Amino acid sequence: MTGAPLGALTLGQSGGLGASARVWIAILLIGVATYGFRLSFIHLFGRIDEVPARITRPLRYVPPAVLAALVLPDLVTLRPSVAATLLDDRLIAGAVAGVVAWRTENVFATIAVGMATLWLFRFVVFA
């Protein structure tokens, strides 16, 4: 065990499973499934001639859909008032970073500008 957060995990709903065991089980299961996805058609090709469009068409929408579902709830929290929602430092920083991502398509620039904007509002403007 390596510290307080892990200790808290052990006492959680993991059913007696140690925190480190929990982490390793997650890593292994995710790793095996991910490798299976990677190997799927690279392995199968030769047995089947062409990948059916029924499989490839919906997959095209997985990246934008999953990424948007991941990122938006981290930036936007619905508050009692519109003003409180719009004056959140994470939403402002996210909006600025979104413009940078769109104009530059550069991960580094997006992170740098996004973090700088967050700090500007958190430590200067809203302080």
Partner 1 sequence: MLGIVPFALVAGIAAVDAGLGLAEAVGMSVIVFAGASQLAALDLLGSNAPLAVVVGTAVVINVRMVMYSASIAPYFADYGRRLRAGLAYVLTDQAYAISVAEFEENPGRSHWRYYLGAGASLWVVWQIGTVVGVVVGAGVPDAWGLTFAVPLVFLALLVPAMKDRPTTAAGVAAGAVAVVAAGLPLNLGLLVGAVTGILVGLVTEARER
- 8-27 binders of partner 1 (CB under 8 A): 8-9, 12-14, 17, 19-20, 22-27
Contacts of 91 (CB under 8 A, 6+ apart): 75, 76, 85
Among 28, 84, 86, 125, binds partner 1 (CB under 8 A): 28
Q: Map the footprint of partner 1 across residues 107-126, applying CB under 8 A.
A: 107-108, 110-111, 114-115, 118-119, 122
CB-wise, 11 or 83, nearer to partner 1? 11
Cβ atoms of residues 109 and 100 within 8 Å:
yes
Give the Cα separation of 97 and 101 in Å (integer). 6
Q: What is the rounded radius of gyration, in angstroms, for the C-alpha atoms of the chain?
A: 21
Q: Map the footprint of partner 1 across residues 51-90, applying CB under 8 A.
A: 51, 55-78, 90
